[in-house]
Amino acid sequence: MDIVVCHDKNANTCSDFMDKILCMFQTVKKEHHTIFFIGNGGSAGIAVHMTADFLKNGGIKTHSMFDVSTITCLANDFGYEHIFGKQLKIVAEKDDIVVAISSSGNSINILNAINVARNKECKIITFSGFTAENKLRKLGDFNIYVPSMEYGLVESIHNMILQQIVDEIVMKDGIGLE
């Protein structure tokens, strides 16, 4: 049984798909662009962890979207649905990567942020789960979907894949910060 369903019409296999994602991250590193990880709840925990790992271990420029003062200010002034989009509108640039992590794939703040990222011409990678009809599942340049209704399983697989990507970068390029 396949646990992860990869979606990229140009990839022949999941291995080919993952190679393309790895190449995208390596290009961002080489060209000094930034990676933004976004998520809510447990997915936010993964996003914060990956922000640190891709910076420290991968040697890639990242930007944390989770400063408490920023999130509460934006939620208060514009609504929680805009906490990531408002930040991306200001700091994201063309060819940066936005990694959107959402177990349900239907979080409005994540979907709004994807629209902003698309308008900014960022590259987008989505991680979702639950139902195959979730809204996030087909919005990225690359989409990783876990067909399970179990938060723990979906989040564990999302975390495992992202950890494998940063580990591959470390193996190919060496340690990030020296």
Does the predicted model carry a pTM greater than 0.85? yes
Please give the residue that has the higher pLDDT: either 161 or 16: 161
Segment 1-51, tens digit of pLDDT: 234 666 555 655 567 788 899 999 999 999 999 999 999 999 999 999 999
Would you place residue 178 in the very low, low, confident or very high pLDDT band (cuts 50, 70, 90)?
low
Q: How far is it, in rounded angstroms, from Cα 139 to Cα 135? A: 7
Task: Look up residue 175 and give its DSSP letter.
Answer: -
> What pLDDT digit, counting tens, does each position of 122-137 carry?
999 999 999 999 999 9
Summarize the confidence of residues 105-119 as an average pLDDT.
98
The answer for residues whose C-beta is within 8 angstroms of residue 11's C-beta and 6 or more apart is: 17, 20
In the chain, pLDDT over 90 holds for what percent of residues?
84
Q: What is the pLDDT of residue 143?
A: 94
CATH architecture of 5-173: 3-Layer(aba) Sandwich (3.40)
Contact by Cβ (8 Å): 125, 158 = no
Average pLDDT, the chain: 91
Sign of CA dihedral 164, 166, 171, 172: positive
Q: Which has the minimum average pLDDT: 51-60, 151-160, 168-177?
A: 168-177
Percentage of the residues of the chain whose pLDDT score is greater than 70: 89
Confidence band of 115 (pLDDT split at 50, 70, 90): very high
CA gap 89, 120 in Å, rounded: 7
The structural domains of the chain, with segments of one domain joined by +, span 5-173
